[in-house]
Structure 1
Amino acid sequence: MSKQVIVIGGGIIGLSCAYYLQKEGHEVTIIDQSNMDAGASYVNAGYLSPSHIIPLSAPGVMLKGFKWMFNSASPLYIKPRLDPDFLKWTYAFNKSCNSNHVKKAIPMIRDLAVLSQELYADIRQQEQFTSQYRKDGILMLCQTEKSLEEELKTAHLAIDEGLEVTEVTLADLKVLEPNVTLNVIGGTHFKCDAHTTPNEFMTEMKAYLKLKGVLFYANEKVEDVEVSNQKIIALITKSHRFTADEFVLAAGSWSALLSKKLGINLLLQAGKGYRINTERPTGIKMPAILTESKVAVTPMNGFTRFGGTMEIAGINDTINKTRVDAIARAATKYYPEISLTEDEKDAAASGLRPVSPDGLAYIGKSLKCPNLTIAAGHAMMGWSMATGTGKLVSELISDKTLSMDISQFSPDRKF
């Protein structure tokens, strides 16, 4: 049965939800408080990464966070503040940083990332999109024996989960990256990964959805929510009153603010990431993670992107030059012949990734509001998990059999 569905959020998660909902014959409207042309969906590394099976809340991460708290250039920076939501999130995050949680989370992360990668490829083929999609894999580049040892442990875990990954020596890297000098001792090659150019896919997806009748309302911030018998009746913005049968909350880092209006307490913190682009030839062919620096490198269409950091410091779009400089230094540290210019660093952009305490997304319905489906909290895996999330949301709203078990993604789960 066709339903009227409003998707709150015009990022990659929201667009993916809209794509599969309109495929099921639903009437879809997307509303977003921004102009829908910036943010995490546009500045991310473009990875479709089943390789990223370890959640952020892993053993030892909280201790690292405390150590790095006074280093604004560190890969993970958690700004301490006396905010009740932040303190609840921190407590839950610390509880999740254990090996038992990681063991339970790995299959869920893998399944959703693998499903999403397959769906990205299907969308491009079915809709004849021309945006970049390459399955060259991703390199984990290491400069120290300690880091290489850790990456090999992760590789063995990934192999146990059915993912294709091999160790690479310096000789292997010279074959994979013949046009660049690398200052590393070795690494691993996750052959299961793919990469894209985000702004290309976003542009094609928005054009396709508009062609199919999906309505877009940009710069429409939800000011209030009308509720009756626990169900949403309408969304109120400054200029509109939006009504529908079903609602999807895919507003990224802002999702927790909106869910509060419905009495749903989503523990979410905004994790800021940065990117620097260079249009100058770099010779880089392969996407890579610079493991010690936690910097991602992606050869995109027409430019190379260097991105990274996880800055948990509230919702803001301030560019921290210290963190931008740290990314640029890492680029040169691993690729000695590459040096990012001041102009390139000055043009850096940031995006906010919604981070749950346990590193798992919120996907599903809350008992507190049966006509709301939540799709948020994917942290650094939003791009990698978007299409799978969109399909699952559509299946929930269309009362279809789910493509995978989503019980661990429940918005009502306890921490």
Structure 2
Amino acid sequence: MGQSVVIIGGGIAALTSAYTLANKGHRVTIINQTDTNSAPSFGNAGLLSAFEKAPLAAPGVITKTLKLMLQGKSPIVLRPNLDPHFYRWLVRFMASTTRARLKKTLILFERYGEQSIQAYHRLTQEEGLDFDFHHDGVMLVFTEAESYREKLRHATDSSKYEVLDYASAKERLGFVAPNIEGVIHLKRNGRLDPGRLMEQLKALLVRKGVCFVSGEEIVDFDVGPKQIKSARSKTRTYEADTFILASGHHTALAAKLGTPLMLIPAKGYNITFEMEESIKPKQCVMFNDLFIIATPRQHDMRLTSKLEIGTSNPDINMKRVQSILANLKTHTVKFELQNPRYWAGFRPLTPNDMPLIGRDSTYRNMVYGMGYGWLGMTFGPALGEIIGRLIDEDLENHQSDDVLLFSGFYQGCL
């Protein structure tokens, strides 16, 4: 008989961990404060970008961000505030933007990105899910000559890169205008529809016996010596053998256990709309110098851009939305946003792009699945498998090579 496992949270971390555990015979309950359809994972761009793409904490990002902020083109908007935790995070972020750190991060991204890609293939082939998954790469579009020349210096492996000019890439680029410097096809990346993935994965989990409790906020834990006895909401108590905290950017429950998590909320935006099929891109387009991702989906398009760091205001700032569109339209043909829907939500960012996965240092039956940041879809299945194995095989953190390699608990995030 498997363990009883309570997962707190309803995003991709919760669902992929539940999938691994349910397949191994464990009894899983997912408790989420809102409906699963409201999870920030639904607002993801859907780009699976583990290959040939720099992480957020990359060399030169601070100087470049400040310069672009003055031009209104920065991918990151820093909002100063009075929270000392924000500045501790910022100091560690700056310390992470080294070439040595970048080299290690890129290797880890490839390792776990490939695992997730293969897991998505299995979900479509073995489970019969259809979430508009395409393993067809991403078209990296350059609007500045300097950045294009720099990328060309590294784009020499034809198994990973395809260097294109506008004429040869036009059919795949759709609404992209000819006033660009060049295009590099990053062959190994992919894309999917996050909303469809979450909906179908939830339905699959229900068929596998996973219980979902929506609209329930866990406010505290009942603890004993080195063990959590139960999780409490305002009205109910949930007992389990093991608990997984996968609550996005919400860290209050971890703090109550004496574990301060080094992550902050980063507010991201997207715009989803229909457009003419004749100018709809055939592949995902990433505007390298505009920091805008345009992802074609089965029935619509999604634009994703901007991260606001230092704010907890959940409201959609239409000035940010208009800034995204204004920057985009400098390098696209004229197009109409048909039936536009705007979204803003919070990504849980660690200072060095490493997720926080593994057992709590005091309460062994608490496992964390936090800090996936803007790469939740890219690494979700791989991290769900790591968490599932940790519980199923009753491993300590030091017995899991994957936790030691990829968890921020062992990579300077505490």
Q: Above 0.5 in TM-score?
A: yes
Among 267, 274, 277, the alignment partner of 2:269 is 274
SS at match of 2:126: helix
Partner of 1:224: 220
Among 237, 258, 263, the alignment partner of 1:263 is 258
Partner of 1:327: 324
Contact preservation (8 Å) 1:180, 1:283: no
- The worse-fitting range, judged by mean Cα deviation, of 82-91 and 275-284 is 275-284
Partner of 1:111: 111
Structure 1 gaps, min length 5: none
1:133 and 2:130 are equivalent in the alignment: no
Q: Structure 2 matches for 1:135-214, cutoff 5 A?
A: 135-153=135-153, 155=155, 159=157, 164-177=160-173, 181-214=177-210
After superposition, the C-alpha distances for 1:67-118 in whole angstroms (9 at most, x for unaligned) are 4567776321111112121111111111111111111211111111110011
TM-score, normalised with respect to structure 1: 0.92
Partner of 1:381: 375
Contact preservation (8 Å) 1:73, 1:322: no
Contact preservation (8 Å) 2:271, 2:304: yes
SS at match of 1:100: helix
After superposition, the C-alpha distances for 1:230-255 in whole angstroms (9 at most, x for unaligned) are 2111111112111111111111111x
Q: Give, as a single letter, the amino acid of the residue that structure 2 aligns with 1:29.
A: T
Among 303, 307, 310, the alignment partner of 2:304 is 307
Contact preservation (8 Å) 1:34, 1:220: yes
Instruction: Quote the offset at 1:52 in angstroms.
Output: 5.7
Instruction: Quote the offset at 1:369 in angstroms.
Output: 2.2
- The worse-fitting range, judged by mean Cα deviation, of 125-134 and 163-172 is 163-172
Q: Give, as a single letter, the amino acid of the residue that structure 2 aligns with 1:240.
A: R
Percent identity over the alignment is 30
Partner of 1:394: 388
Contact preservation (8 Å) 2:354, 2:407: no
C-alpha distance in 1 between matches for 2:71 and 2:252: 29
Contact preservation (8 Å) 1:6, 1:31: yes
Among 207, 227, 233, the alignment partner of 1:237 is 233
C-alpha distance in 1 between matches for 2:27 and 2:153: 47
Aligned residues: 407
Instruction: Quote the offset at 1:409 in angstroms.
Output: 3.0
Contact preservation (8 Å) 2:163, 2:183: yes
C-alpha distance in 1 between matches for 2:196 and 2:385: 21
TM-score, normalised with respect to structure 2: 0.92
* Structure 1 residues 403 and 205: alpha-carbon distance in aligned structure 2, compared to 1, 3 A threshold: farther
Q: Give, as a single letter, the amino acid of the residue that structure 2 aligns with 1:121.
A: H
After superposition, the C-alpha distances for 1:247-290 in whole angstroms (9 at most, x for unaligned) are 11111111x22211111111111111111111122422110111
After superposition, the C-alpha distances for 1:360-406 in whole angstroms (9 at most, x for unaligned) are 11121232221111111121111111011111111110117999633
